[in-house]
Amino acid sequence: MAEDEPQYASRVKIHPQRIAGAFRRLKWLVLAAIMVLYYGLPWLRWDRGPGTPNQAILADMTGRRLFFFEIEIWPQEIYYLTGLLIAGAVALFLITALAGRVWCGFTCPQTIWTDLFMLVERWVEGDRNKRLKLDQAPFSLNKLWRRTVKHSIWLLIALVTGGAWIMYFVDAPTVTVDFFTGQASSTIYGFTALFTATTYVLAGLAREQVCTYMCPWPRFQGAMFDEHSLIITYEAWRGEPRGKAREKVKDQLGDCVDCSLCVNVCPTGIDIRDGQQMQCIGCALCIDACNSIMKKLDRPPNLIAYDSIANMNARAEGQPTSTRLLRPRIIAYSVSLLLILGLMTYGLSARSNLEINLQRDRSPLFVTLSDGNIRNGYTLKILNMERRDRVFRLSIEKLPETFISVIGYEKEGAPAVDLPVKADSVGTFRVFVRVPPDRLNAASTDMEFMLRDLENGDVADQHTFFYGPKQ
């Protein structure tokens, strides 16, 4: 780069032109489905019995639980969420390796809401040429009312979008009433304002800049592609040399008539004929655009197409094309995804409604009592994941002649202690285990905390060590 060359260029506002076609219809369908799901899901009810939220999908912040239909995730089980995120990432790798940036072009919230905002813009200000003229026109009443209406509708959509996001964290019907009657907390109003502003800025003002400059995904999604991945391709072998239709001299020009429609419809303002670019979100609107021109000119479709580099090269050389789904990376992603989902499903189906969490005292490791016995201290947490109060019998296994005392329950020490834990809660207990010194034959001895539900016999255990003086 030359020293005097500026390193900053102002953004050129992009005014994509309206285009009809198969991919545009598919994009509207996906947009409608995602809108229905996003705005509708918080209103879906799910009966979990008395005293529990009846919202099908809820990240209950006050109750510190995640509810997804019949599944309930406790804070201690947050690894399921991690697993879900990893599965989502691997699924994204797999889809990208198979079909390019379909996530970006069809389902990413940034694309969906930008599409919606652009639709409003087109309704209010007209298609590309009218918008370009309006942009350049001096201030007038016409410009004022169009801009006012556009931004008002954008703000309204942003408010509904931000508000709907809040409903995934609090009961939807309750928070809606509270919100409009002024009874919601300042946190609710604050977060709604934040998400409204975020939606308005990202989908209305920043648009393609989010994909080009802010999102990390375009920067490394190229690593998931291979020559058999489907991407948006310009079949240059067929299109070049380009030239206006009227200038076409048989056998001298390619099929591209240089009409620029593919550039005009592009939401990121690029020219796909320049080859694959990071800015291309794979929305396929340039395919619709070019196909409409090819149809008018009675030429074969798919000069711009969903194609793989391998097939494009094969076509250019007149070779037969092929679809290779079973490639090493596809197999690796699929196996990893199945493994993660399989492990999560097994974990969820086999998980117990009872869990122990044990922390031993580290300082001091042990205490020698006046009667010569050795004592270790522990903090025991019992997770009762059932909706009934339960009583658990705590005993020690593997180390004989132990006596347990629990602060508030058994002061003198006994071989076993009964501990009550309220329904759907965590019971925390300070536990001391006492052992005669002649029972210890090493500085640390294996032992197990054993917990048994006195009503249904459910058991949970936790291995630990008992520490004493060096033998």
| Whole-Å CA distances, 20 to 172, 280, 377 | 37, 19, 72
Using CB under 6 A as the binding criterion, the count of chain residues that bind ligand SF4 stands at 28
Answer for which of 158, 290, 382, 440 binds ligand SF4 (CB under 6 A) is 290
| Burial of 429 (C-beta count, 10 Å sphere; 0-12/13-18/19+) | middle
Among 287, 281, 137, 285, residue whose Cα is nearest residue 207: 281
Distance CA 296, CA 462 (A): 74
- Candidate residues 124, 266, 394, 431; the one interacting with ligand SF4 per rule CB under 6 A: 266
Shortest Å, Cβ 301 to ligand SF4: 10
* Token output for 362: 């580290």
In sequence order, what DSSP letters do the residues of 202-267 get, joined into one string? IIIIITHHIIIII-SHHHHGGGG--TTS-EEEE-HHHHPSP--GGG--TTTS-S-----HHHHT-T
CB of 292 to ligand SF4, least distance (A): 8
Q: Which residues pair with 60 in a beta bridge?
A: 65
What is the rounded distance in angstroms from the CA atom of residue 431 to the CA atom of residue 408? 10
Nearer of residues 267 and 468 to ligand SF4, judged by Cβ: 267
Candidates 97, 202, 256, 337: give the one binding ligand SF4 (CB under 6 A): 256
List the alpha helices (DSSP H) in 52-140: 79-99, 102, 109-125, 128-136
Among the listed residues 153, 170, 175, 283, the single contact to ligand SF4 using CB under 6 A: 283
Under the binding rule (CB under 6 A), the answer on residue 293 touching ligand SF4 is: yes
User: What is the rounded distance in angstroms from the CA atom of residue 122 to the CA atom of residue 117?
Assistant: 9
The least CB distance from residue 305 to ligand SF4, in Å, is 11
Strands 425-435 and 403-406, how do they pair?
A: antiparallel
H or E stretch at 368: strand 367-368
Which range binds ligand SF4 by CB under 6 A, 126-134, 280-288, 359-367, 419-427? Answer: 280-288
Secondary structure (3-state) at 435: strand
Token pair 């196909």 in the structure block, residue = 291
3-class DSSP state of 60: strand
User: In the complex, what is the shortest distance from the CB of residue 318 to ligand SF4, in angstroms, rounded to a whole number?
Assistant: 21
- Of the pair 34, 289, the CB lying nearest ligand SF4 is at 289
Q: Does position 268 bind ligand SF4 by CB under 6 A? A: yes
Q: Is 100 in the site for ligand SF4 (CB under 6 A)?
A: no
Say which residue the tokens 């599944």 belong to: 71
Of the ranges 42-50, 220-228, 273-281, 360-368, which one interacts with ligand SF4 (CB under 6 A)? 273-281
What is the nearest approach in angstroms of ligand SF4 to the Cβ of residue 196?
A: 27
Site string for ligand SF4, 300-319 (x = CB under 6 A): ---xx---------------
61: helix, strand or coil: coil
Q: How far is the CB of 176 from ligand SF4 (least distance, A)?
A: 37
Of 164, 281, 396, 451, the one binding ligand SF4 (CB under 6 A) is 281
Could you tell me which stretch among 75-83, 120-128, 270-278, 430-438 binds ligand SF4 (CB under 6 A)? 270-278
Give me the 399-438 binding string for ligand SF4, x by CB under 6 A, dash otherwise: ----------------------------------------
Residue 241 phi, psi dihedral angles, 5° rounding: -70, 135
Q: Segment near ligand SF4 (CB under 6 A), from 7-15, 84-92, 268-276, 373-381? A: 268-276
Binding residue for ligand SF4, selected from 66, 285, 404, 417, defined by CB under 6 A: 285
Q: Site residues for ligand SF4, window 224-253 (CB under 6 A)? A: 232, 239
- Rounded CA gap, 24 and 252, in Å? 33
Give contact residues for ligand SF4 (rule: CB under 6 A): 232, 239, 256-262, 265-268, 270, 272-273, 280-286, 289-290, 293, 303-304
